[in-house]
């Protein structure tokens, strides 16, 4: 399982970056991006106010 960000709906708020226990999220050009460090825990999906993160 790994998180993926919908770039069309992400507003770059950073809530997911703060919520991730693995440091796997960062903001690039105002959009969240997921690194290979993602453990698939789902904390970011719960934290995102725009439902922009899904787990695949």
Which residues bind to ligand SF4, rule: CB under 6 A? 3, 5, 10-16, 19-20, 22, 24-25, 32, 34, 38-44, 47-48, 50, 52-53
- In sequence order, what DSSP letters do the residues of 16-39 get, joined into one string? HHHH-TT--EEEETTEEEE-TT--
Q: How far is the CB of 35 from ligand SF4 (least distance, A)?
A: 8
Is residue 47 a contact partner of residue 15, using CB atoms and an 8 Å limit? yes
Residue 37 Cβ, how far from ligand SF4 at the closest point, in Å? Answer: 7
CA count, 13 A, side-chain hemisphere, 13? 14
Tell the smallest beta-carbon distance from residue 30 to ligand SF4 (Å): 8
């Amino acid at each position: 399982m790994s998180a993926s960000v919908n770039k069309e709906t992400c507003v770059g708020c950073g809530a997911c970056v703060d919520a991730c226990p693995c440091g796997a999220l960062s903001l690039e050009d105002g959009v969240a991006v997921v690194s290979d460090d993602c453990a698939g825990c789902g904390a970011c999906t719960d934290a995102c106010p725009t439902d922009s993160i899904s787990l695949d």
